[in-house]
Structure 1
Amino acid sequence: MRRSEFERAVADEFGARGGSLLTDLVLSACGGRTGVEALAAGVDPREVWLALCAETDVPQNRRYGVGRLEPRRS
């Protein structure tokens, strides 16, 4: 997941509260860091996205592919 896909996914899923979730919510799966701290430390955006989804109980069917402009083709 690219950083732009990550940002789009956060905006699509959380709307206006996405920014505050990234700065305030501590993600245990990212070493007890916030999303912003994890990204700054070099954690892969996909890992941060999945941790954010887990902490906020986003259903599984909305965790993969959110934020992509188009699905990948095989």
Structure 2
Amino acid sequence: MCGRGRGKMRIMRLRDFWLLVDEVFDPRYGRTLVSEHHLDALDNLTAAQALERGAEPRDVWHALCDSLDVPDRTRWGHDPFRQAPPRR
């Protein structure tokens, strides 16, 4: 996750999305989830389809984690300094 100065919104880059997929779900399982798990919050698209259509990685990450009941304490991986980008 990236900070852009005080008071400005933190964003999630696509690279960060994929790092979290690998860390939170494991590379093989995570890649399968992204390509095959349909997300109600994203009009029943998969995460991969939503990203291809221009959805913000942060929004896709939240939708994926919400649909799989990933708790906030593990949603952001193992790095204690990683800061979650805010929800919209």
For this structure pair, what is the TM-score category when the shorter chain's length is used for normalisation?
A: 0.7 to 0.9
Give the gaps of 5 or more residues in structure 1: none
Give the gaps of 5 or more residues in structure 2: 1-11, 84-88
Does the 8 Å CA contact 1:9/1:67 hold for their aligned counterparts? no
> What is the distance in 2 between the residues matched to 1:67 and 1:10?
12
* Cα displacement (A) at 1:66: 3.9
CA RMSD of the aligned region, Å? 1.8
Q: Highest Rg: 1 or 2? A: 2
- 5 Å-filtered alignment, 1:1-74, equals 1-15=12-26, 16-63=28-75, 65-66=76-77, 71=82
* Cα displacement (A) at 1:31: 1.4
Percent identity for Structure 1 against Structure 2: 34
TM-score, L = length of structure 1: 0.83
- Provide Cα deviations, 1:33-74, integer angstroms capped at 9, x if missing partner: 0000000010000000001101111112223x4487x546xx
> What is the distance in 1 between the residues matched to 2:78 and 2:40?
23
TM-score, L = length of structure 2: 0.71
> What is the distance in 1 between the residues matched to 2:59 and 2:73?
16
How many residues are matched? 70
Relative contact order higher in (CA < 8 Å, ≥ 6 apart)? 1
Structure 1 residues 22 and 67: alpha-carbon distance in aligned structure 2, compared to 1, 3 A threshold: farther
